[in-house]
Amino acid sequence: MRQRVVITGMGGICGLGTSAPAIWNEMRAGRSAIGQITSPQLHDLKVKVGCEIKTLPDHGIDRKQTVSMDRFSLLATIAAREAMQQSGLVSNEATTYRMGTVVGVGVCGWEAIEESYRAILIEGKNRAGIFTVPKVMPSAASGHVSMNLGLRGPVFGVTSACSSSNHAITSAVDQIRLGRADVMVAGGTDAPLVWGILKGWEALRVLAPDTCRPFSADRQGLSLGEGAGMAVLETYEHAMARGATILAEIAGAGLSADASDIVAPTIDGPTAAMRACLADAGFNPEDVDYLNAHGTGTKANDQIETAAIKRVFGDHAYKLSMSSTKSMHAHCLGASGALEMIACVNAIREGIVPPTANFREPDPDCDLDVTPNVARERKVRTAISNGFAFGGTNAVLAFKAV
């Protein structure tokens, strides 16, 4: 019998709030934080809409560490500290080599990259900042979480675009089940609200001019956001032995690849990932109560995801509750799956399905129950979270009550 892996702490930060409880409160209320981006450095943008963190909390991280951090690493560390505090765990000499972290990231340290370009090309300086290289590494966030919390077990980064969080959490579960760690801190982070990244997304012509309206017939694209979400994972036995409060169990994971196109999704890849997740969790389709959709708000993605859900769940697709919380926290790329984990776990704990905000018009091609605009009370025993990414890399997680 394989080990059960449970969640005993969660942390989060995004435009909705600077803690996991604050984020969930806004999700439950159906409040969208997507709006005009205020940063003065973001000039010459056709679309200046996103979901930014207006003010960072008083995080207590030593300046000696923050000077070598890009924003995406700082957000991950803030969320990880919150998750560890909730879990009640502290690394010490006896446990430090049995505790690790995996952090997913989509676009890594572009804030530092742009600072270097600006210094050299505009300000005429003859060198980049001394910490540029360690700031921009995709694995920097996991390194900083490790250093800040004293985690000396398995520590590495994962990058698979918009599926990065789900891949990171899956990898962390594997480390525990392989016996390499007793505790893993896992999730994702991204800070893409920088000029070069936004100009790149503009070129793809998928950014919404107003806001993100997943599954709504009048949707016009996605909105980008920044944020991080982290969870403390440990075996059920480890959590029970120390008297921890268990928030939920990670029941299973399913991974697949489209092997088709770098940006255009297929139905087959998401279908395979969802089916693999159900099989890994030991769920029948009718066992699933809530599905947190990838739900980006683009025409093609929402239609294809709906079709894939119907293929996997059959008639039950019309009975389960769905929503896309990206309508509220936007698409935070490598952080999205971790923020959506917060939604799934709290839906299970409170029996409340968070809504799809900004919904206006039903779409006949997206005709499932997307919980439009208003949260709904429902007993949620199980939930799954979809993550589908550029490159056709798909990762789906299943959660259940304990």
Burial tier of 169 (Cβ tally within 10 Å: 0-12, 13-18, 19+): buried
Q: Which is the catalytic residue, given 144, 167, 238, 294?
A: 294
Catalytic residue status for 43: no
Q: Is pLDDT at 43 greater than 80 in this prediction?
A: no
Give the Cα separation of 79 and 149 in Å (integer): 12
103 CB neighbour count, 10 Å cutoff = 38
Q: Which is the catalytic residue, given 14, 51, 162, 344?
A: 162
Catalytic residue status for 366: no
pLDDT tens for each residue of 358-400? 999 999 999 999 999 999 999 999 999 999 999 999 999 999 9
Q: What is the pLDDT of residue 41?
A: 78
> If you count DSSP H runs as helices and E runs as strands, how many of each does the chain have, helices first?
13, 15
Q: Do the domains at 5-241 and 252-400 have one common CATH topology? A: yes
pLDDT tens for each residue of 336-361? 999 999 999 999 999 999 999 999 99
pLDDT tens for each residue of 126-146? 999 999 999 999 999 999 999
Q: What is the pLDDT of residue 361?
A: 97
Give the Cα separation of 229 and 393 in Å (integer): 20
pLDDT tens for each residue of 325-337? 999 999 999 999 9
Q: What is the pLDDT of residue 42?
A: 82
Q: List beta partners, residue 103.
A: 157, 187
Give the Cα separation of 313 and 231 in Å (integer): 28
For residues 103, 87, 33, 69, the Cα torsion angle rounded to the nearest 10 degrees is -40
Residues 6+ apart with CB under 8 A from 342: 10, 12, 20, 23, 24, 27, 229
pLDDT tens for each residue of 58-77? 999 999 999 999 999 999 99
* Nearest to 272, CA basis, from 312, 310, 304: 312
Give the Cα separation of 175 and 182 in Å (integer): 8
pTM of the model: 0.98
What residue type is assigned to position 93 of the chain?
Answer: E
- Do β-strands 352-353 and 376-377 pair in parallel, antiparallel, or remain unpaired? antiparallel
234 with 182: CB under 8 angstroms? yes
Q: What is the pLDDT of residue 17?
A: 98
For the chain, give every domain's residue range: 5-241, 252-400
Residue 39's pLDDT band (boundaries 50, 70, 90)?
A: confident
**Which numeric CATH code is attached to 5-241?**
3.40.47.10
Residue 27's pLDDT band (boundaries 50, 70, 90)?
A: very high
Q: Which is the catalytic residue, given 331, 332, 344, 366?
A: 331
Q: Is pLDDT at 189 greater than 90 in this prediction?
A: yes
DSSP single-letter state for residue 355:
P
Q: Across all residues in the chain, what is the average pLDDT?
A: 97
Q: 252-400 is classed in which CATH architecture? A: 3-Layer(aba) Sandwich (3.40)
Give the Cα separation of 348 and 246 in Å (integer): 12
Catalytic residue status for 238: no
Q: What is the pLDDT of residue 266?
A: 97
Phi/psi at 352 (5° precision): -130, 125
Q: What is the pLDDT of residue 179?
A: 97
Q: List beta partners, residue 51.
A: 225
Separation in Å, CA 63 to CA 74, 141, 158, 189, 211: 11, 16, 26, 20, 36
Q: What average pLDDT score do residues 270-278 get?
A: 98
Q: What is the pLDDT of residue 1?
A: 78
Give the Cα separation of 174 and 156 in Å (integer): 13
